[in-house]
Amino acid sequence: MRKLGMLVLALALLAVSVAPVKSQEEIQTGNVIFFHPDGSGLNHWNAARMYWYGPDGALHWDGLPEMAVYRGHMSDRLVGTSNGGATVHAFGYKVLGPGSFGQDGGIDPDEPGSDGRPIQALSGYPGSLLREAAAAGMPIGIVNDGDLPEPGTGAFLAEVGDRNLSNEIARQFLDGRPGFEGEPLPKVMLGGGEAFFLPADAPACDDEITLECYVHVDQVNGRGPARDDGRNLLQEAAELGYEVIRTRAEFDALWGRIQAEPDYAPMVLGLFARDDIFNDTTEERLIARGLVDDAMADTKEGRLIIWGSRPDTPGYNPPTPAEMTQMALELLRRHSEAAGQPFFLVTEVESTDNLANNANAIGTLRALKAADDAIGVIRQFIAENPNTLLLTAADSDAGGLQVFSPAPVDGSGLVTTSGGNPTGIGLDQGFPLDGVEGQHTAPFVAAPDAFGNELDFAIGWSGTNDVAGAILSRAEGLNAELLRTHFSGQFDSTDVYRLMYATLFGELLPPAYGQQAPDRGE
């Protein structure tokens, strides 16, 4: 009987795993929100849950009902890159890892001078899914707590041979891609990157903030505007119809007007930092540069200034990923209703990647909560607008974060290192671990578990690189069940494109596994 029961269970599981995909007629079309908490693997989310809500608590991320294991390898390597991964999501084909940014390949240390290969998307369109949606009349938008030309948003709009060409990427946001000038403009762009919209000789703003001056400087290196072609893209954006905002006060004023005027639907360009809104360096360097707010010293967030600038400066307390996403969703909803078309929003929380790439543990935990808060905003939007798909993915696992508990401490109660080297070869000390303000500081304390215990821990890293890790894609809303019924056995990075395309255009395209992206026709 036991064997029979096991056989019945196995057959039931098999039936679920091979459940047929919806027919094309059954796939419903609607809005798409692609949410990219960059670098966040399963261990990142586990650590965030422990710290903020306790090991028995729940994140907004935990509530997303559908999931599949994400496969993020590139055509030339097993670990995804930010620029290459974003290009795969945007075009639906595997591309080379090092230089791809809206095309296949680009500047590579081994191939200097390579400009990359313009490609077609899986649908056959000569551009990304975001560009195709805009060409079809759908309102589009991007949000990033890094700078807007960052690959997770930039590769959906621009095509360049080097991810460091931020000035050119920003130009293409407004001008369109080379050969596709005059493309429909994004309705909303919120993030960092003021430097790439202003000429390098622009003055600093004094008492009055105008489109001719800059508000933000790099909090670590002190740099200002960066454009070397003399163009003022802020002024040009305003002439194209954008409301341009750059401070918390301007953001709050605009949000107040949006809430007060149901028919108000401006295009908005918001730039809340010189480049990244967050300060991606180590805890020790933040402290050395005075990026601390002692009023926050006894909070779980800690006293390090992770986002924005020091108190009493225009860049202090910038809009969060959740706030920017909330504004973008409301504006896109209004533009969508006016156009009679679904909308497409790409939101990236880049801080989850960059802070982990700097082995900044408290910064990473705060970034994960910021990402989770944004997921909460999106889930509320879907509850009110069920014709919307939320799909999440991360192209790699930043730093290979691990939790050590109980935290290894010295006689002073400060975090020390992991275990030693068992091989007996080379150094015999362990690896340094992070506490609340970096190495050799107090351990983290998790929120209470179901027993009421507050357990301590430290965080360790495999390094500062991105690794393959364990990445889960999760989804909610329109067509989300396809992760369970169709993609449970294999959800490739190219399938991110396929699921989003199906929801926007009503057709689930054939897979592109093992296929090279076609060259773009003239």
Q: Give the CATH number, domain containing residue 481.
A: 3.40.720.10
Torsions phi, psi for 260 (to 5 deg): -80, -25
Instruction: Tell me which of 5-19, 140-154, 364-378, 488-502 is least confident.
Output: 5-19
pLDDT over 90 at 89, yes or no? yes
Residue 125 and residue 370: Cα distance in Å, rounded? Answer: 34
User: Measured between alpha carbons, how far is residue 432 from residues 288, 356, 359, 419, 458 in Å?
Assistant: 20, 15, 11, 10, 10
* 3-state DSSP helix/strand/coil % of the chain, to nearest 5: 30, 20, 50
The residues, ordered by sequence, that sit 6+ positions from 239 with a Cβ below 8 Å of its Cβ are none
Residue 220: per-residue pLDDT: 84
Mind listing the pLDDT tens digit for each residue in 300-354?
999 999 999 999 999 999 999 999 999 999 999 999 999 999 999 999 999 999 9
Give 1's pLDDT tier (boundaries 50, 70, 90).
very low
AA identity, residue 237: A
Number of domains in the chain: 1
Residue 247: per-residue pLDDT: 97
pLDDT over 60 at 122, yes or no? yes
Indicate the pairing of strand 456-460 with strand 402-404.
antiparallel
133, 344 contact by CB (below 8 A)? yes
116, 103 contact by CB (below 8 A)? yes
Residue 419: per-residue pLDDT: 82
Residue 420: per-residue pLDDT: 73
Q: Which residue has the higher pLDDT, 12 or 341?
A: 341
Give 378's pLDDT tier (boundaries 50, 70, 90).
very high
Lookup: tokens for 222: 């002190």
Mind listing the pLDDT tens digit for each residue in 144-178?
999 999 999 999 999 999 999 999 999 999 999 99
Residue 391 and residue 311: Cα distance in Å, rounded? Answer: 36
Q: Is the sign of the CA dihedral 139, 142, 148, 151 positive or negative?
A: negative
Across the range 234-247, mean pLDDT stands at 98
- Identify whether 304 is part of a domain: yes
- Identify whether 416 is part of a domain: no
Mind listing the pLDDT tens digit for each residue in 267-307?
999 999 999 999 999 999 999 999 999 999 999 999 999 99
Residue 434: per-residue pLDDT: 97
Residue 108: per-residue pLDDT: 64
Q: What angle do CA 507, 515, 88 make, to 5 degrees?
A: 70
Residue 491: per-residue pLDDT: 98
- Identify whether 329 is part of a domain: yes
- Identify whether 473 is part of a domain: yes
Torsions phi, psi for 520 (to 5 deg): -80, 130
pLDDT over 70 at 18, yes or no? no
Closest CA to 499 of 485, 480, 477, 473: 480
Say if residue 6 is exposed, middle or buried (CB neighbours under 10 Å; 0-12, 13-18, 19+): exposed
Residue 425: per-residue pLDDT: 73
Please report, rounded to a whole number, the percentage of residues in the chain having pLDDT higher than 70.
93
Residue 311: per-residue pLDDT: 92
Q: Which residue has the higher pLDDT, 446 or 521?
A: 446
Closest CA to 345 of 333, 362, 360: 333
Mean pLDDT of the chain: 93
Residue 294 and residue 439: Cα distance in Å, rounded? Answer: 19
Mind listing the pLDDT tens digit for each residue in 414-440?
999 998 777 777 666 678 999 999 999
Supply the range of the domain harboring residue 358.
27-401+461-505
Residue 21: per-residue pLDDT: 52
- Identify whether 428 is part of a domain: no
Give 217's pLDDT tier (boundaries 50, 70, 90).
very high
Please report, rounded to a whole number, the percentage of residues in the chain having pLDDT higher than 90.
88
Residue 368: per-residue pLDDT: 98
Residue 304: per-residue pLDDT: 97
Across the range 114-130, mean pLDDT stands at 94
DSSP H helical segments within 185-232, as ranges? none
- Identify whether 20 is part of a domain: no
pLDDT over 50 at 19, yes or no? no
Residue 54 and residue 304: Cα distance in Å, rounded? Answer: 22
Give 10's pLDDT tier (boundaries 50, 70, 90).
very low
- Identify whether 197 is part of a domain: yes
- Identify whether 412 is part of a domain: no
Mind listing the pLDDT tens digit for each residue in 386-401?
999 999 999 999 999 9
112, 89 contact by CB (below 8 A)? no
pLDDT over 70 at 114, yes or no? no
Lookup: tokens for 204: 């600093």
For 504, what's the count of Cα atoms within 13 Å in the CB-facing half-sphere? 29
pLDDT over 70 at 46, yes or no? yes
Residue 111: per-residue pLDDT: 56
Residue 430: per-residue pLDDT: 78
The residues, ordered by sequence, that sit 6+ positions from 237 with a Cβ below 8 Å of its Cβ are 174, 197, 244, 269
The residues, ordered by sequence, that sit 6+ positions from 259 with a Cβ below 8 Å of its Cβ are none
Residue 6: per-residue pLDDT: 43
Indicate the pairing of strand 31-37 with strand 388-392.
parallel
Closest CA to 490 of 507, 512, 468, 517: 512
Residue 22: per-residue pLDDT: 60
Give 49's pLDDT tier (boundaries 50, 70, 90).
very high
